Amino acid sequence: NAGVTQTPKFQVLKTGQSMTLQCAQDMNHEYMSWYRQDPGMGLRLIHYSVGAGITDQGEVPNGYNVSRSTTEDFPLRLLSAAPSQTSVYFCASPGQYLQPQHFGDGTRLSIL
């Protein structure tokens, strides 16, 4: 997907481990967001940011931490991974308010 890059694409963790999912965009967008996708539940908003230094909680923020030190990057941190966080994670950036959301390719995260 043009403009939004997520890494890694796949990751397996053990319960209690920590990790950071990376998201970067080169479109100079102010707004960035993280979603998780679980079977039968669509995508749910975890955290979002409306600009550098500004973050806010979405629908399912517990267990996740974010920061936005630059316009380009919006990492998602799992401080102590739990099996319930096994999911596919998407980073997205919509640009102008009325413009389509650009999604990254997703990260499949499994926690054992």
Partner 1 sequence: AQTVTQSQPEMSVQEAETVTLSCTYDTSESNYYLFWYKQPPSRQMILVIRQEAYKQQNATENRFSVNFQKAAKSFSLKISDSQLGDTAMYFCAFMNNNDMRFGAGTRLTVKP
Binding site residues, partner 1, CB under 8 A: 1, 31, 33, 35, 40-45, 48, 50, 56, 58-59, 88, 90, 92, 98, 100-101, 103, 105-106
Tokens 């099996």 sit at which residue?
83
Fill in the amino acid letter for 25.
Answer: Q
Q: Which of residues 33 and 85 has its CB atom nearest to partner 1 in the complex?
A: 33
User: Could you tell me the smallest distance in angstroms from the CB atom of residue 76 to partner 1?
Assistant: 16
Tokens for 59? 């629908």
User: Could you tell me the smallest distance in angstroms from the CB atom of residue 53 to partner 1?
Assistant: 15
- Enclosing H/E stretch for 69: none
Q: How far apart are CA 31 and CA 71, in angstroms?
A: 9
Q: Which of residues 35 and 74 has its CB atom nearest to partner 1 in the complex?
A: 35
Is 60 in contact with 36 (CB distance < 8 Å)?
yes
